[in-house]
Chain A
């Protein structure tokens, strides 16, 4: 095998298919969208070069920053929710009865398609016949809110299914990481008289730090470019109250025929996500990696 790998041509051939796919499906569209961002184009007729005008408009576009704010709020909430998932995984990993079954149940939302989840939660949130408001009324609330119609609430209402959707995914990752910790270390700590809380906080957490960092990046990046449930459940409405960056971009490019401007917003979305990722990695960077 070493002999095969020493030939540069073979390496090139092995890499080429993947490189081709990544190039055609990711990098070329990326460059194209940056390029379209320089055009005034309705996506149908002729293009007109306008330089950086679209980017400048986007930076001054209050609606864009509103949607960016909503995306960042989602990022904050999904990052905070990681703590909850971590706690759940700790419990699951500590050999309680039925852990295996519970883990599978938590994973189910992850297996459903986003549109199915959206339809499900649209029914849950229905102001008159929805499960949520029926329960609230049954326990004595007189005027439960119209979750998806009230501009002050709608964003947070949609966060619930979004977080719910990905809970199983993060729990699974943490669970696997926790299971990887050698039993002997925990055994030793226990003999030294550490309480379960101390074991969790001082031993398990530091040992899976690497995984936690990865999930933080995943959660933040995933939130910044989040689209599915918002698009299906409210379409960004009412009046933009639940618009996020990706849904705003989609709306510009595909419903209002501002393909050039939409591309510019899409490219800004990429840059923002990139910057945030770099910052997050800087903050969570560690000098000394802990080893088992």
Chain B
């Protein structure tokens, strides 16, 4: 009988432990309001391992903020990109978003805004400290119906990076027009050099090529208008852009099996000197300028050129790109004012430090003169100042299910599985179904 009692007791203890394990979230929220100390929960996606510089700057900013604001604590949670995306999604379904977190622009954030998860940040964007500080076009990407829900932190444009040593060896120069570009490709191909590295398993990489052709052939607004349903996606220029992509594929421009390779693998081909060109956004600049892990000889031999014009059409100062991540404040945060204040502080400090210390081009204006930057940075910042247009990455502009169609069609286009007409038709169908 005694043994029975012990068993019973042990089982009860076990059950209590199991149940206790299920309810930790309550307790962590409770202590954020006690007394006069406040806690801001902040989640970001730059772990120490993969983004050491970013991580360090974030910690510095938080330290500064905490020392300037007595009684405010910033509680950190750091996850890597994909895990971050999954976790944010799960947290939002249970209404437990962190007070401040990171979000992507446009199509990604729309469901969060429609679900009233993000707080309006108009007052922060228009505040004295930040008004006019953002590069135009960046806050717009984080707005829905004219209201800002995110503060952009990064700005990237895509350009073609090329290996000057390989170009020189074959007597080539950076092309200005599509014809010259075809010549470069042909010469390299005939000499046994793979002209361009492309990792199209990730799909948005191929999308960049298509977007630039659409921009040069159809003008800088056409693709955006087609996505906004102001024009049809079956516009001849958008079909021709797809044809141009397939022309490049038929010329053996890209490395073999690009549809099965990740961007990372393609990048390593370019960085090992196996290919001559690589289209990527400016987040890669450190690899070609300051990153000590990359051999200096290689860094010195990399240059970049703007995407060529096609048949005399196109504005070379029109870029494909966009803001990367931005900060959001949760609408149900119990420390909303403090959280907004923190984001404001963060954006300002980030703008000062990011470019010189982490090589990240911030979405706020940078005074290139006052900083000691590598030449390539100065050039890119210059390009940004002279940019006439910035077209946001297509898969970011589209809603997520249309983006899925777009990305799959991109793979099919590069793989020769669809004709340019079918490519345009599939887009038109997906976009019109959404209306």
| Chain A residues in the interface with B (C-beta under 8 A) | 4, 7, 10, 13-14, 16-17, 20-21, 24, 42-46, 122, 125-128, 146-151, 154, 234-235, 237-240, 251, 254-258
Contact = CB atoms under 8 A, between A and B. Distances in A.
B303 to A, nearest CB: 24
Interface in B163-218: 194, 200-201, 203
B258 interface: yes
Given A238-B411, A239-B411, A256-B404, A149 B112 contact: no
22 contacts: A4-B4, A44-B93, A44-B115, A126-B257, A127-B256, A147-B260, A148-B257, A149-B258, A149-B260, A150-B260, A235-B201, A237-B201, A237-B203, A237-B408, A238-B411, A238-B415, A239-B408, A239-B412, A240-B408, A251-B404, A257-B400, A257-B401
Interface of A is mostly: loop
Chain A to chain B: the 8 pairs with minimum beta-carbon distance, closest first: A146-B257, A148-B260, A45-B115, A127-B257, A149-B260, A149-B259, A149-B257, A238-B259
Interface of B is mostly: helix
Contact of B256 (A42, A44, A146): A146
Interface string B239-271: 000000000000000011111111001000100
Contact of A255 (B259, B260, B261, B404): B404
A59 to B, nearest CB: 19
Given A13-B8, A44-B89, A237-B201, A127 B115 contact: no
Given A10-B7, A20-B18, A125 B260 contact: yes
B15 interface: yes
Interface residues of B, number: 46
A127 B255 CA distance: 9
Contacts of B427: none
Interface of B: 3-4, 7-8, 11, 14-15, 18, 22, 85-86, 89, 92-93, 111-112, 114-117, 194, 200-201, 203, 255-262, 265, 269, 274, 399-401, 403-404, 408-409, 411-412, 415, 417
Contacts, number: 121
Contacts of A146: 256-257, 259-260
Contacts of A235: 201
Given A7-B4, A126-B265, A234-B201, A17 B256 contact: no
Given A149-B257, A149-B415, A238-B260, A255 B14 contact: no
B8 A44 contact: no
Contacts of A149: 200-201, 256-261, 415
